[in-house]
Structures are given as structure tokens and as C-alpha cells.
Structure 1
Amino acid sequence: MAAKLAKEPEILELSNGSITAKIATWGATITSLLVPDAHGNLADVVLGFDTLEPYMKGISPYFGCIVGRVANRIKDGKFTLNGVEYSLAINNGPNSLHGGLKGFDKVVWDVVERKGGECPSITFQYHSKDGEEGYPGDVTIRATYSLRHSTTLRLDMEAVAENKATPINLAQHTYWNLAGHNSGHTLDHSIQIWGKHITPVDENTIPTGEIVPVKDTPFDFTTEHKIGARINDVPGGYDHNYVLDCGDEKNGLKHAVKLKDPSNSRTLDLWTDAPGMQFYTANYVDSISGKSGAVYVKHSGVCLETQGFPNAINQPNFPSVVVQPGDKYKHSMLFEFSA
């Protein structure tokens, strides 16, 4: 199918008969995802809005979108690369968060390919210009959502740095509630994370540079626990980067997390090739009017943001997020649903 260049943002549908996703050209955002439980009952398992207007007005706390050029936080909105200091917009306390004031979540992406058939897919593309939000160099980003199997959604992201070295760290920022987006808090969901270490943070949620074991702490999800079991032992709730260091591999992707809702046994297994994952329990969501009259409150969803480590551009001991001119950044994730 011929490329369709961005005009007015729109919501597109991707379905294989088992699961149905609605994905907007605004932010390459998953606005709805219908997934069956063991009895075949469908529920929309992602938080979001019925129309594009709230996303475009900035009411959304990154519901369902792709964030970049650099996901998560950069300390003081500053970094130095090849001897040049760059300054970014400050939009999260003293930090720059998720690409700045107008990150990739707040732009219209072009639809460059749509495929039907047994493995339907949609490919979005965005060109980020040199200097955009303070970042160096032109970057072309592609994101392909595909339905690989009856209940599997895959996302493949790639970005090419065209003319300058630049940090690139994309993340998919869906808020999951496997009981259904309108079913209240997720503290009863159980979760297992294949990470034996986290990157602890300071008072501004910036990693200290340490990598510490989770053993014997409230951050230990190497075996399955309810999200709410120890959340009160974590000031403010979970909003931490896990080092994905102990998962099985499949097709080049490692097992990052298993999320399960006890009320209907709906389960999400997430596989990725990213080194880290931000586990965030919607601590700052406060009475947001969402789809079909639902009101989203604190802990209404769970974010599982596979990523490079936060503030890696300023932490030489973290895996580098710098992409050299002509090189390609790649990041894939597989969302497997079962019940």
C-alpha cells in the first residue's frame, strides 16, 4: 500500500479476529486493546481516551504512546556529547522527561505501510529534526505494530541517526489493567520481573549510578508477588528501572515480566531486547476521565516500559544510548496474552 503522509491525526484499527488494537497516528499511541480471557470474554486492557482530543490537549500522562527521543529522565536536562553541551527542556522537577515538552508522543506520525492477512501490521514513521527539543542531529524513526499470533502483539522500533551522534532511547508507555481499563486499581495483579537488580534513584528520581540487588527488598519480584503486597514500603510507589538480567531467551528476545490478573486469569508475558524496564504503578494518576466514563485513579494501571537505563547519557557505567551517524537503533517487544 502506498505511503500515507500525516495530515489530521486519526485512529487506525489492527485486528486478527482474536485481539483488536486501535492505534493513533498521534504519538503512535495504543488507545484500545481488546483481549480475551479464558472464556473468550473481551476486555479493553489499556488506559486511554475515546477520542484524540485529550491526548492532543496534553491531558494524557503518556497513555499508550511511544516516548522519545530519549525516554525517562535526563538529570537537569543536560548532557555533553563529543565535547558539546546540550540543554533540553525541563518538564519533570529539575529533569527532562520522555523527550521534553513536545516529544514523540505529541506529534503526528506518518503511516508508511499497512498489511492485512494473517499477520496484519501498521508501520509508523517520524522524522525528528536536528535541534528538536534540544537534541542533536536528524533522526528517522519507524515503529511497526504487528499481530504475529492469535493473541500476540509485537512492536519493532528502529531509528537511524542521519548526521550527528545522538542519544536515542524509545519506550512504549501503555498503562495495563488486565481486569479491564475501567476496573479500578491493579494492586491485586501479580507480577514477576526477570531482573535481579535495579538502578536506585535520588530524591529527584534520577539513578544514582549504582546497580543494586533486589534480594530481601520490596523490589524483589524474581518470584511472583502481588503488586500491592509491599508497595507501602516504597515511598511514592514503584517507579524504578529494573536491570533485565535473568530471563529466558526466545527469538532473540528475553523474558522481562509476567503480569497476571487474579479475577480472570488474563496474563501478559512481555519479551524484549532492551537492557532495562521501568516498572511504574501509576502513582501520579489522579481522577482522570477516561474511556466510556471510566475514572482512572492512583494505581489504575501498570507501566512496563522496556528501555535503556534512565539518565544513561550521563552515567558512563550504564549501557550507552548513543547512536552514531549512519547507525541504527533497534528495540523490539512482544506482548503475549494468555488466560
Structure 2
Amino acid sequence: MIEEDLNLTVKTERVASWEEKDVFRYILDNGEMQVEMTNYGGIISRILTSDREGKLSNVVLALENIPDYFTKNGPYLGAAVGRYANRIGTASFKLDGETFHLTKNNGENSLHGGSKGFGVKVWDPEVYKNDNAVGVKMTYLSVDGEEGFPGNLKTTLWMELTSANELKLRFESTTDKKTVVNLTNHSYFNLSGITEDVRGHELQIFAEAITPTGSGQIPTGELLEVHGTPFDFTTLTKLGAQMDALGEGFDHNYVTKRENSTELKKIAMVKHPKSGRTMTVYSTAPGVQLYTANHVRDFVGADGKIYQPHWALCLEPEAWPDSPNKPGFPSADLAPGEQYVHEIVYKFSVER
């Protein structure tokens, strides 16, 4: 099935069934770029953009086909992660004096919502169009107690491609019991078209501080100013140079806001000088996790490629890690009658 409006089209194909639900592959096309996604895990499976020569290439790490994501997506490639993206220390937290124990799937901690988070669920999808975008609206009900989290959490995710080469995501959640929520997308970007590692990419993050971590990569509760450190991306900087200065890859949360707000803020920019591809990231969240695929090794990806460490970078806009256990951090609490909203925009362009 193909629906068309000017240059905006969406192709829908049923590709499998998982847990007794239909799984679809969607291809959104605006005449200049394409985005492939699926209602399994809210996954962005491919993003095809042009370089300065007009060559269209995929710029996210991917698996060969949609059913592969059912059993082979250990790194959360392209997934919508939640209920709580990133880590919650000791896989537990307190709300109003009651302790909740979560699934431990990262040592003693909970990572990305536990062993069966949002990225492995089949969402209920609906294709939509408006004047300048085409997209898929997906909904998922996370029941009270799922992975240990309290409350029936209803989430709607809009994923759309605009005529301005923007991939827009919007998460909205409501609950019937006080809970915590922190949702994001976990795409692994490589603007070279995945022809080399990302050390040659140039990165700017509009943040003055990070939340340093201790054991298990759980934040200490402090803030560390980045100026004069290997974490400093306040100006456009080659990623490889900072990795060399740090002595390892990045897996750190950058403070893009000091408190929660609805402001959609420019938080990062990535450039690949050879191809000319540029991506600018906007978000309403107070933080963004920079991850340089440190643990992706000998991973069989799409198009016969074998992914290795540092062959991609993730920019995961989100609440600060372990916020439920850090009273000084912006709150990730959600109460009945309130609405959680997180908007993300990935804008693609070419530098001539």
C-alpha cells in the first residue's frame, strides 16, 4: 500500500507476526530522503540521506531485515527505549516512601527499562499525513508492574518525516498511578554511510557539564564542568581527538538543561566532512547521552557489514540517568492527571 501527497509518500508492508501481533515495515519518503521504521519496538531501521555528490546512503546501524530485530538486537539499534532510558542504580527506587524493585539487566542495575522494555514490544500503529509530513503513530500500554514499574502507562509515539528533511519524534505518556518515565530513541548514527568509523566526525554538544559516574556507570550526583576536559564539545570538535584524550570511548550524559522545561532546544550537531552530511539534534529533555558504540564488536549488520567499536555514535536525548534516586536531578516522576511529553528532532542537511 502506497499513500501519496506531493513528494511525501509512505509504503506499508506487513513483514511478520510477533507475539500474535502484526509487524509492519514502513518506508517514509519526502523525495530527498527516506526513513524506514517498524512498529516492533518503535525501531528506526534505516535513514537514507544524500551526500554532497547526491549519493543516497543509510546513516544508521541496522539489521538486514525487520524480523532480525526480534532476536538479534542486543545493542538496541534504533529502538524506542523505556520505561526508563539509561540506568537506574541498584534496579530500585522509592516513590512516596514505597520501594519499587526493577529487573536487573545491567549488573546490579536496570538499563533501558529492563529485560523486555519498550524496544521489544509490538506497538499498535496508524499511518498519518499532514500538510508537510508523513508518519506513523504508535501506541503501547505498559501494564502496572511491568519490569517492576508502577502504574498502567499509556504511551503514544509519533514518528514522522517532514518535507524539510526532519525526522520528528514525539512521546506522550499518561499513568493511573505515580511512576517514573524517561523515553528516547536509540539510533546509532554514522554519517559516512557506514564506510568508516566515526572518529573523523565533528561533534558539537550545547552543554557546559556532564553527570560524572562511579561504579556501574551510575551518576555520583555531582556535575562536572566540561571546559578544558576531554568531555568538551562546546565547539565543533573532531570526535577522535577527544576519544584519544579520554583514552576510551564515550558513554556519558551531557546536561543540556538544568531543570525540566517544554523548550525544544538545539542540543547537538554532527558533521562528516568527507561526505558533507550534517545532522542537527533538538530535544525538550534535560540531557543527552553520548555513546560511541564501545561494546559493539564483530556485530553482523545489514548489507554484509560487520560493525566494530566506534563505528557509530548515539545521541540519546533523555532525563538524567538514575534521576529517581537523585533528589537534586530534574525529576522523572509522572503522576495521574499529568502528561509526559518528549519531543526530538533530527534535521539532516548537506554542506556543499
Task: Classify the TM-score, shorter chain.
Answer: over 0.9
Q: Distance in 2 between matches of 1:118 and 1:302?
A: 29
Deviant stretches of 4+, over 3 Å: none
User: What do residues 272-329 of structure 1 show as CA deviations (whole Å, max 9, x unaligned)?
Assistant: 1110000000000001111110111000110000000000000000000000012110
Could you tell me which residue of structure 1 aligns to residue 28 of structure 2?
Answer: 14
Paired residues of 1:258 and 1:269 also in contact (CA < 8 A): yes
Shift of 1:245: 4.2
User: What do residues 250-293 of structure 1 show as CA deviations (whole Å, max 9, x unaligned)?
Assistant: x9411100001111110000011110000000000001111110
Q: Secondary structure at the match of 1:230?
A: helix
Shift of 1:237: 1.5
The answer to whether the aligner puts 1:173 opposite 2:186 as a matched pair is: yes
Percent sequence identity over aligned pairs: 39
Q: Distance in 2 between matches of 1:225 and 1:203?
A: 28
The answer to whether the aligner puts 1:264 opposite 2:264 as a matched pair is: no
The answer to whether the aligner puts 1:195 opposite 2:207 as a matched pair is: yes
- Aligned partner letter, 1:217: T
The answer to whether the aligner puts 1:140 opposite 2:151 as a matched pair is: no
The answer to whether the aligner puts 1:86 opposite 2:89 as a matched pair is: no
Q: Distance in 1 between matches of 2:242 and 2:348?
A: 26
Which structure 2 residues correspond to residues 277-288 of structure 1 after superposition, within 5 A?
Answer: 277-288=288-299
The answer to whether the aligner puts 1:33 opposite 2:33 as a matched pair is: no
Larger CA deviation: 4-13 vs 31-40: 4-13
Q: How many residues align?
A: 332
Q: Secondary structure at the match of 1:228?
A: helix
Could you tell me which residue of structure 2 aligns to residue 332 of structure 1?
Answer: 343
Going from structure 1 to structure 2, the CA distance change for 1:70 and 1:14 (only over 3 Å counts) comes to same
Shift of 1:143: 0.8
Shift of 1:129: 0.3
The answer to whether the aligner puts 1:185 opposite 2:204 as a matched pair is: no
Q: Distance in 2 between matches of 1:225 and 1:245?
A: 21
User: What do residues 31-78 of structure 1 show as CA deviations (whole Å, max 9, x unaligned)?
Assistant: 011111223211100101121233111443010011000000000101
- Aligned partner letter, 1:170: L
Paired residues of 1:26 and 1:105 also in contact (CA < 8 A): yes
Q: Secondary structure at the match of 1:10?
A: strand
Shift of 1:118: 3.6
Q: Secondary structure at the match of 1:56?
A: helix
What RMSD over aligned residues (CA atoms) do the two structures have, in Å?
Answer: 2.0
TM-score (norm 2): 0.90
Q: Distance in 1 between matches of 2:205 and 2:131?
A: 34
Paired residues of 1:12 and 1:22 also in contact (CA < 8 A): yes
Q: Secondary structure at the match of 2:345?
A: strand
Could you tell me which residue of structure 2 aligns to residue 297 of structure 1?
Answer: 308
TM-score (norm 1): 0.94
Could you tell me which residue of structure 2 aligns to residue 54 of structure 1?
Answer: 68
Q: Distance in 2 between matches of 1:289 and 1:338?
A: 29
User: What do residues 234-261 of structure 1 show as CA deviations (whole Å, max 9, x unaligned)?
Assistant: 3541100000149xx9x94111000011
2:226 pairs, out of 186, 195, 214, with 214
Which structure 2 residues correspond to residues 109-148 of structure 1 after superposition, within 5 A?
Answer: 109-115=123-129, 118-148=132-162
- Aligned partner letter, 1:306: P
- Aligned partner letter, 2:189: W
Q: Distance in 2 between matches of 1:241 and 1:134?
A: 24
- Aligned partner letter, 2:98: V
Shift of 1:12: 1.2
Q: Distance in 2 between matches of 1:256 and 1:9?
A: 33
Larger CA deviation: 204-213 vs 143-152: 143-152
User: What do residues 192-240 of structure 1 show as CA deviations (whole Å, max 9, x unaligned)?
Assistant: 0000000000031000000110011000000111111021333541100
Larger CA deviation: 30-39 vs 135-144: 30-39
Q: Which runs of 5+ in 2 are unaligned?
A: 4-13
Q: Distance in 2 between matches of 1:241 and 1:267?
A: 22
Shift of 1:333: 1.1
Could you tell me which residue of structure 2 aligns to residue 309 of structure 1?
Answer: 320
Going from structure 1 to structure 2, the CA distance change for 1:49 and 1:58 (only over 3 Å counts) comes to closer
Paired residues of 1:273 and 1:333 also in contact (CA < 8 A): yes
Q: Distance in 2 between matches of 1:160 and 1:142?
A: 9
Q: Distance in 2 between matches of 1:60 and 1:267?
A: 27
